């Protein structure tokens, strides 16, 4: 069997094998990167994933480009050799699984970050509510915080 699309009205054929193999290559590299990022998130090493982002961005763009190129001829994917078609199908399935696991890990890390920020805010509010001081006579007294007292906080929510 040939990996070329059937001829179009102009008699032109396109060899799909290089496109399919290119997508398999990029998807495989992206799977490895997503699995590494997911592992870092699960190990609570979110600070280390920043180094992966430039390569992740590049691979995602390449994946999208190759997917679009292959999808433009989706009606002819049946012309691919069975082995290439099966490898493509398996790789896309593995990519989808890795992407789902990565999304779950990112969501879990985000939720943990939210809980941590809320705990910090709660601790600050509790500390403010227990503010103590000394009165004019030198006696120890509890000072009620004013509603106008504000604490400015900024959290870096990037993962």
pTM for the whole structure: 0.68
pLDDT of amino acid 100: 97
**Interval 72-107: pLDDT, tens:** 888 888 888 999 999 999 999 999 999 999 999 989
Of 38, 41, 53, 158, which is closest to residue 98 (Cα–Cα)?
38
**Interval 6-50: pLDDT, tens:** 555 555 667 889 999 999 999 999 999 999 999 999 998 988 999
Distance of alpha carbon 115 from alpha carbon 112, whole angstroms: 5
**Contact by Cβ (8 Å): 80, 12:** no
CATH for the 17-142 domain, from 1.10.10, 3.40.50, 3.30.70, 1.20.58: 1.20.58
Distance of alpha carbon 23 from alpha carbon 91, whole angstroms: 9
Instruction: Output the DSSP codes for the chain.
Output: --SBPPP-TT----B-HHHHHHHHHHHHHHHHHHHHHHHHHHTT-GGGGGGGHHHHHHHHHHHHHHHHHHHTTGGGGGGS-HHHHHHHHHHHHHHHHHHHHHHHHHHHHHHHHHHHHHHHHHHHHHHHHT-EEE-TTS-EEE-PPPTT-----------
Of 154, 94, 102, 158, which is closest to residue 124 (Cα–Cα)?
154
pLDDT of amino acid 1: 44
């Amino acid at each position: 069997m040939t990996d070329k699309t059937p001829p179009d009205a102009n008699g032109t054929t396109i060899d799909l094998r290089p496109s399919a193999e290119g997508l398999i290559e990029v998807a495989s590299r992206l799977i490895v990167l997503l699995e590494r990022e997911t592992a870092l998130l699960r190990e609570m090493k979110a600070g280390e994933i920043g180094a992966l982002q430039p390569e992740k961005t590049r691979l995602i763009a390449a994946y999208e480009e190759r997917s679009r190129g292959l999808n433009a001829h989706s009606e002819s994917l049946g012309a691919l050799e069975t082995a290439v078609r099966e490898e493509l199908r398996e790789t896309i399935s593995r990519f989808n699984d890795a992407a789902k696991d990565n999304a779950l890990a990112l969501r879990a890390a985000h939720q943990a970050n939210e809980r941590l920020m809320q705990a910090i805010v709660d601790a600050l509010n509790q500390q403010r509510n227990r503010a103590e001081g000394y009165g004019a006579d030198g006696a120890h007294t509890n000072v009620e915080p004013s509603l106008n007292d504000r604490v400015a906080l900024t959290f870096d929510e990037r993962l």
